[in-house]
């Protein structure tokens, strides 16, 4: 075959830079969008934020007739018209025109407005500086801080630092004492008994129960730090020390026979155990708080649900008319080309933001229209909804609806929910209708909350109760929904009354 040139005609879908930018802004969360807007304001001089009280004028500066507008006066002309010079002032008049205190271009409150807003007021007695300004502390740094305050020899301090490195985020010692001892240099001549003594010192640190090797030791460490006059302390230590397996399997009959405790007495012991923390390391929070800013606000007015965008989270932008007026049509210089490109990018960015807001508003309105029952009555009235339903209602593709509903939140009188929360699969009912999985989860949660703690409901029993309400759900489906709600099986929910 010889190479040849062939002319073909066809259609091809190409994503322009404007479309790519619109899609990227569409899938950003509110916090990410605010950061993107701030970066655009810093990089593009044509963009500016629309302040409150200003007339919003986003007209096209390059439209017809724009170049006929009068040019802005130059800086030198304005300065000559408004500012007197030394030559045209009479003798002695120069000193009278200068005030004793010259005005400054900013004020102390403007510079330190963010920091000063977090300072306590005169009547705020419960203000804590560390809770407002400090970052999250890790468990490792918290234990090292206590180690630095404890009087120890250099050898014991080295052992303690090694043991602290072996403590996980839950507060348990992950390595055995033999492994910790073997990790040291043989020249240090550290024995296992020395490591165990230092471990007992660490187990006296805060939070209580830290440095335990198993759950039994963790609970016993916490019980030992309670006051000696605590009710049922001795009985609780005996149950935790000798019969923790029976307590975990909830074999209360065998437990009462072994401990010779009556039902009321065993209930007091279990109440004391439930006040302990099986994961003491979780008390030290090292992660930073995550904030959620709602994109859409839903409120009820005159028996109608109204949907509106959160204007505080959606800053308004416009093209700077002064800079845009400097752009000349027929000028091809480097400066004019740069300004023309910046002006075009500013227009694209504003148009992409407007398209994002319009799409978000359309999708949120359709979701509220479809889920009125949830807003009025709660989760049990949630209707089944999929992306295809909203896409067909607004005339968009399902991928676009998926981008709009990801990391976007709606503020309702019942709380703040992600838009994806309102989408759920459906289960058929005996009457031929449909029930959403979210409503089924709410019903399961309600049934478990009202069950008899002595005889908790099994998955089969819950499936039977749902079938009595006309909802046909298999036992495996009930188990899946129960696990998604974080509800333990019936054998672990059994309690003494």
Q: Has residue 90 got a pLDDT over 50?
A: no
Give the span between the Cα atoms of 203 and 222, in whole angstroms. 10
pLDDT digits (tens, 9 = 90+) for 397-422: 898 899 889 888 999 999 999 999 99
Predicted local distance difference test score (pLDDT) of residue 9 = 87
| Higher pLDDT pick, 392 / 70 | 392
Provide the β-strand partners of residue 417. Answer: 410
Give the span between the Cα atoms of 373 and 60, in whole angstroms. 45
Q: Has residue 324 got a pLDDT over 70?
A: yes
Predicted local distance difference test score (pLDDT) of residue 26 = 84
Predicted local distance difference test score (pLDDT) of residue 110 = 40
Give the span between the Cα atoms of 144 and 70, in whole angstroms. 70
Q: Look up the pTM and report it.
A: 0.63
Cα separations in angstroms, 472 against 153, 441, 462, 466: 68, 13, 11, 7
Report the mean per-residue pLDDT for the chain. Answer: 79
> Which of 366, 361, 372 is CA-nearest to residue 300?
372
Distance, CA of 328 to chain centre: 47
Q: Has residue 473 got a pLDDT over 80?
A: yes
Instruction: Please report, for the chain, the start and end positions of each structural domain, with discontinuous segments joined by +.
Output: 137-287, 296-422, 426-493
Range name among 42-46, 177-181, 352-356, 432-436 with the lowest pLDDT average: 432-436
Q: Has residue 127 got a pLDDT over 80?
A: no
| Higher pLDDT pick, 453 / 77 | 453
| Higher pLDDT pick, 279 / 85 | 279
Predicted local distance difference test score (pLDDT) of residue 361 = 92
**Residue 285's pLDDT band (cuts 50, 70, 90):** low
**Residue 1's pLDDT band (cuts 50, 70, 90):** low
Predicted local distance difference test score (pLDDT) of residue 327 = 84
pLDDT more than 90, % of the chain: 14
pLDDT digits (tens, 9 = 90+) for 178-228: 898 988 888 888 888 998 999 999 999 998 999 999 999 999 999 998 998
| Higher pLDDT pick, 321 / 68 | 321
**HEC assignment per residue over the chain:** CCCCCCCCCCCCCCCCHHHHHHHHHHCCCHHHHHHHHHHHHHHCCCEEECCCCCCCCCCCCCCCCCCCCCCCCCHHHHHHHHCCCCCCCCCCHHHHHCCCCCCCCCCHHHHCHHHHHCCCCCCCCCCCHHHHHCCCCCHHHHHHHHHHHCCCCHHHHHHHHHHHHCECCCCEECCCHHHHHHCCCHHHCCCHHHHHHHHHHHCCCCCCCCCECCHHHHHHHHHHCCCCCCCCHHHHHHHHHHCHHHHHCCCHHHHHHHHCCCHHHHHHHHHHHHCCCCCHHHHCCCCCCCCCCCCEEEEEECCEEEEEECCCCCCCEEECHHHHCCCCCCCCCHHHHHHHHHHHHHHHHHHHHHHHHHHHHHHHHHHHHHCHHHHHHCHHHCCCECHHHHHHHHCCCHHHHHHHHCCCEEEECCEEEEHHHHCECEEEECCCCEEEHHHHHHHHHHHHHCCECCECCCHHHHHHHHHHCCECCCHHHHHHHHHHCCCCCHHHHCCCC
User: How large is the average pLDDT for residues 164-182?
Assistant: 90
Predicted local distance difference test score (pLDDT) of residue 125 = 52
Predicted local distance difference test score (pLDDT) of residue 98 = 45
Q: Has residue 103 got a pLDDT over 70?
A: no
pLDDT more than 70, % of the chain: 80
Give the span between the Cα atoms of 219 and 391, in whole angstroms. 54
**Does domain 426-493 fall into CATH 1.10.150.120?**
no
pLDDT digits (tens, 9 = 90+) for 442-471: 899 888 888 887 788 888 888 888 888 888
pLDDT digits (tens, 9 = 90+) for 238-261: 989 988 888 888 888 888 888 888
Q: Has residue 77 got a pLDDT over 50?
A: no
Q: Has residue 157 got a pLDDT over 70?
A: yes
Predicted local distance difference test score (pLDDT) of residue 451 = 85
pLDDT digits (tens, 9 = 90+) for 40-58: 889 988 888 877 655 544 4
Q: Has residue 298 got a pLDDT over 60?
A: yes
User: How large is the average pLDDT for residues 9-30?
Assistant: 80
Q: Has residue 114 got a pLDDT over 80?
A: no
**Residue 326's pLDDT band (cuts 50, 70, 90):** confident
């Amino acid at each position: 075959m010889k190479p040849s040139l062939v002319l073909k005609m066809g259609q091809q879908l190409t994503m322009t830079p404007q479309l790519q930018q619109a899609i990227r802004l569409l899938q950003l969360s509110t916090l990410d969008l605010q950061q993107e807007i701030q970066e655009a304001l810093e990089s593009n001089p044509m963009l500016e934020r629309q302040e409150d009280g200003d007339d919003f004028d986003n007209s096209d500066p390059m439209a017809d007739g724009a170049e006929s507008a009068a040019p802005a006066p130059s800086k030198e002309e304005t300065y000559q018209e408004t500012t007197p010079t030394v030559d045209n002032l009479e003798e002695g008049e120069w000193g009278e025109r200068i005030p004793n205190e010259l005005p400054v271009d900013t004020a102390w409150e403007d510079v330190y407005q963010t920091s000063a807003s977090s300072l306590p007021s005169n009547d705020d007695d419960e203000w804590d500086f560390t809770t407002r300004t400090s970052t999250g502390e890790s468990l490792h740094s918290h234990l090292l801080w206590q180690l630095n305050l404890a009087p120890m020899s250099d050898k014991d301090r080295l052992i303690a630092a090694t043991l602290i490195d072996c403590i996980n985020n839950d507060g348990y010692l992950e390595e055995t004492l033999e492994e910790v001892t073997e990790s040291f240099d043989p020249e240090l001549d550290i024995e296992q008994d020395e490591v165990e003594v230092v471990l007992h010192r660490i187990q006296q640190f805060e939070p209580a129960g830290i440095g335990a090797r198993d759950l039994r030791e963790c609970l016993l460490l916490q019980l030992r730090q309670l006051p000696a006059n605590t009710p049922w302390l001795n009985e609780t230590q005996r149950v935790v020390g000798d019969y923790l397996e029976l307590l975990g399997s909830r074999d209360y009959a065998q437990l009462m026979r072994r401990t010779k405790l009556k039902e009321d007495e065993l209930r007091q012991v279990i109440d004391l155990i439930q006040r302990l923390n099986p994961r003491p390391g979780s008390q030290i929070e090292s992660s930073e708080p995550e904030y959620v800013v709602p994109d859409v606000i839903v409120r009820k007015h005159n028996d109608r649900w109204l949907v509106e965008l959160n204007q505080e989270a959606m800053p308004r932008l416009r093209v700077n008319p002064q800079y845009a007026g400097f752009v000349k049509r027929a000028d091809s210089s480097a400066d004019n080309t740069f300004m023309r490109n910046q002006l075009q990018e500013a227009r694209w960015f504003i148009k992409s933001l407007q398209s994002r807001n319009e799409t978000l508003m359309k999708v949120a309105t359709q979701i509220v229209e479809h889920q009125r029952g949830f807003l009025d009555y709660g989760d049990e009235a949630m209707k089944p909804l999929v992306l295809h339903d909203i896409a067909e209602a607004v005339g968009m593709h399902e991928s676009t609806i998926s981008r709009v509903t990801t990391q976007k939140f709606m503020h309702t009188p019942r709380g703040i929910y992600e838009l994806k929360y309102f989408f759920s699969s459906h289960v058929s009912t005996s009457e031929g209708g449909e029930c959403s999985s979210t409503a089924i989860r709410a019903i399961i949660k309600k049934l478990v909350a009202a069950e008899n703690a002595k005889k908790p409901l099994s998955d089969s029993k819950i499936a039977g109760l749902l079938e009595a309400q006309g909802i046909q759900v298999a036992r495996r489906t009930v188990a899946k929904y129960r696990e998604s709600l974080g509800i333990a099986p019936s054998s672990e929910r059994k309690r003494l009354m």
